[in-house]
Amino acid sequence: MARIPIALMVGLTLAACDAPASSPSMTTISDEQLSVEVAADEYRFIPATLTLGDAGVVEFRNEGGLAHTWTVLAEPIDAESQLGSVEVLAEARADIGQSATVEVSSIPPGTYQVVCAIAGHFSAGMVGRLVVPG
């Protein structure tokens, strides 16, 4: 009998219960690869803090009225002007109403700042956090 990861069971249970949009959902990409969802609108990520668990792919949905990115930075920044000087570990870009996927399985355990790298969005407060358990 196959064992189902707890995170997948919770995600499927929440989806079946019509959980609010602020709850990330888990879906199966393949037998070994899981995906977790994050959405964007003006000017926030939903959820603001995303914990990967067993997921190796992030499905980024743009539910806003502007293009957005979900950009994971190697180091936190304090100002938008620092974006070009910090390593980007993963990035997804989605236009209005679109989705994009990004591979995150190679990101080492830790807590990372996530920003929208489109001009003016970081300054408007579009900042989140990615937690990769050890």
pLDDT tens, residue by residue, 52-85: 988 899 999 999 999 999 999 999 999 999 999 9
**Region 86-110 average pLDDT:** 97
Cα distances (angstroms) measured from residue 77 to each of 2, 25, 70, 110: 43, 28, 15, 16
3-state secondary structure of 79: coil
The dihedrals phi and psi of 80, each to the nearest 5 degrees, come to -60, -30
pLDDT of residue 15: 38
Q: Which residues pair with 5 in a beta bridge?
A: none
Q: Give tens-digit pLDDT for 8-38.
A: 333 433 333 333 333 343 333 333 558 999 9
pLDDT of residue 61: 98
- What is the token pair recorded at 71? 């950009």
**pLDDT, mean over the chain:** 82
Q: Is the pTM of this model over 0.85?
A: no
